Amino acid sequence: DAGVIQSPRHEVTEMGQEVTLRCKPISGHDYLFWYRQTMMRGLELLIYFNNNVPIDDSGMPEDRFSAKMPNASFSTLKIQPSEPRDSAVYFCASRQDRGRNTIYFGEGSWLTVV
């Protein structure tokens, strides 16, 4: 099992540029989550999907953020335009829809906006 795979692992971009973060969940998992981690705010849920459908996007900071899940094996989180305050670690996570199963996290995408 390859685990949750995220790319890129590290990205440095200039303010105003578009950033796309990618996630491949564990095969067979029905839920996919995007979290953001910062020193100031800790771990925050941005959005989560069930069977490719967004269920709760109340954590998405503003219209500059968007997330899609076109199929069961791929999701993107896009920031356009990016700002320095978006600098954070973005985690993707997934789990099976089997009651009490564990949420597995990817290694994270470390984003720096300068």
Partner 1 sequence: AQSVTQLGSHVSVSEGALVLLRCNYSSSVPPYLFWYVQYPNQGLQLLLKYTSAATLVKGINGFEAEFKKSETSFHLTKPSAHMRDAAEYFCAVSDVIGGTSYGKLTFGQGTILTVHP
Give the interface with partner 1 as residue ranges (CB under 8 A): 4, 31, 33, 42-43, 45, 48, 50, 55-56, 91, 93, 97, 99-100, 102-108
Instruction: Return the structure tokens found at 56.
Output: 């709760």
Instruction: Return the structure tokens found at 33.
Output: 């989550």
Using alpha carbons, list the distances in angstroms from residue 59 to 14, 15, 45, 54, 105: 24, 22, 6, 12, 18
CB nearer to partner 1: pick between 81 and 110: 110
Q: Residue ranges of the alpha helices (H) in 1-114?
A: none
The whole-angstrom separation of Cα 47 and Cα 85 is 18
Rounded least distance, CB 103 to partner 1, Å: 6
CB nearer to partner 1: pick between 81 and 96: 96
Rounded least distance, CB 81 to partner 1, Å: 27
Rounded least distance, CB 94 to partner 1, Å: 12
